[in-house]
Amino acid sequence: MTEPLLALSSLTLGLRMGADLVRGLDLHVNRGEVLAVVGESGCGKSMTALAVMGLLPDGVTRKSGSVTLDGIALTSLSARRLRAIRGKRIAMIFQEPMTSLNPVLTVGEQIAEVVRQHEGVSHRAARARALEMMNRVKLPDAARRIDAFPHQLSGGQRQRVMIAAALACGPDLIIADEPTTALDVTIQAEVLRLLDELRRDHGTALMLITHDLGVVEAMADRVAVLYAGVKIEEGRVEQVLDGPRHPYTRMLMAARPDADAGRGKRLVEIAGSVPSPDAMPPGCAFAPRCPQVKPRCHDRPPAWRGTAEGHGCACVLHD
């Protein structure tokens, strides 16, 4: 097996002098593939994404573990060398297109500045690239819109601008944190299809954070399921969706309103609630809600069990 493009190994994130939010996470994204990361709200998906970018919010730190891109340990890189990678080799698309663009800069400037930062080209060349990117993300009337300000665009158009900026330097990896959750249902699919199409053309890998199992099925190659900051199942999409092994994944699947009409539906909440980071049970985090809970589940966290086909799961039922 070739080395993965992005590898997270036993990554633990937590509050400074406080609870852990993500615990011992191993995750990898291969070149050109789409890894979906799913899990209930608050399970640490966004923190994981931000940790890869080295953009954890104030108060949250990486306590241990590492992030490696193409053999480069991002987690031990100087701030300057990390900046050379952000936007150039890894780009990120955020959930809120309304607030993720700067209101006082034109969208053209906001696309062009990535190019200028990383390729040192002239203003003019960067602007030409911005226009090209805007055409590529199919923004209607791009030649005029290039001088528009974000508030003059719709949510879907803004997210296209974000995609244009993300792809402008031809990154190896895009991290998209629920890129369409804030959008109108009718244009969600459109924007996702665009993102998928463009990343295929560029051979760009995608780490897609989503709540939507329909999206996972349609777009992803592999999927990782997180629960309370821990990876509980991972595998190829068809393996996991067709044969979920962890009780939590099974419940997620069962909770899908209709497996066939699943697209566009969010994960339905399961009875009970996720333990809060500062009150993690000593055993399996899902044990308090698990219908198949065993006495030993409460003793210690279950070990990770993989299969030869790359379908792994952390549950005593599979020991």
Ligand X SMILES: Nc1ncnc2c1ncn2[C@@H]1O[C@H](COP(=O)(O)OP(=O)(O)OP(=O)(O)O)[C@@H](O)[C@H]1O
Tell me which residues touch ligand X (CB under 6 A): 15, 21, 39, 41-47, 57, 59-60, 277
Among 149, 182, 218, 294, binds another protein (CB under 8 A): 149
Residue closer to another protein, measured from CB, 124 or 144: 144
Among 23, 88, 136, 256, binds another protein (CB under 8 A): 88
230-236/222-227 β-pairing:
antiparallel
Q: Where are the alpha helices (DSSP H) in 137-246?
A: 142-145, 155-167, 185-202, 213-219, 237-242
74 binds, among Mg ion, another protein, ligand X, none (CB under 5 to 8 A by kind): none
Tell me the closest approach of the beta carbon of residue 282 to another protein, in angstroms.
35
Contact 4, 28 (CB under 8 A): yes
34-38/173-177 β-pairing:
unpaired
Could you say whether residue 249 binds Mg ion (CB under 5 A)? no
* Structural Rg of the chain based on CA atoms: 20
CA nearest 40: which of 235, 301, 241, 255? 255
- Contact stretch for Mg ion (CB under 5 A) within 41-49, 123-131, 225-233, 307-315: 41-49
Tell me the closest approach of the beta carbon of residue 274 to another protein, in angstroms.
25
Among 46, 68, 75, 157, binds Mg ion (CB under 5 A): 46
Could you say whether residue 139 binds another protein (CB under 8 A)? no
21 binds, among Mg ion, ligand X, another protein, none (CB under 5 to 8 A by kind): ligand X
Q: Sign of the CA dihedral 75, 26, 181, 200? A: positive
Q: Count Cβ neighbours within 10 Å for each residue of 291-308 and write b for 16 or more, e otherwise.
A: eebeeebeeebbebeeee
- Contact stretch for another protein (CB under 8 A) within 31-39, 87-95, 186-194, 272-280: 87-95
Which positions from 162 through 201 interact with another protein, judged by CB under 8 A? Answer: 162, 165
Rounded to whole angstroms, the Cα distance separating 225 from 234 reads 6
Residue closer to another protein, measured from CB, 150 or 302: 150
- Tokens read off for 192: 């996702």
State the CB neighbour count (10 A cutoff) for residue 201. 10
Three-state DSSP at 26 gives strand
CA 158 to centroid of chain Cα atoms: 19
Among 26, 70, 113, 196, binds another protein (CB under 8 A): 113
- Tokens read off for 15: 């509050």
144 binds, among ligand X, Mg ion, another protein, none (CB under 5 to 8 A by kind): another protein
Among 84, 254, 261, 303, binds another protein (CB under 8 A): 84
Which positions from 43 through 72 interact with another protein, judged by CB under 8 A? Answer: 53, 55
312-313/230-236 β-pairing:
antiparallel
- Tokens read off for 119: 């390729």
- Contact stretch for Mg ion (CB under 5 A) within 46-54, 77-85, 215-223, 255-263: 46-54
Q: Which residues bind another protein (CB under 8 A)?
A: 53, 55, 83-88, 91-92, 94, 96, 99-105, 113-114, 117-118, 144-145, 148-149, 151-152, 162, 165
Q: Which residues bind Mg ion (CB under 5 A)?
A: 46
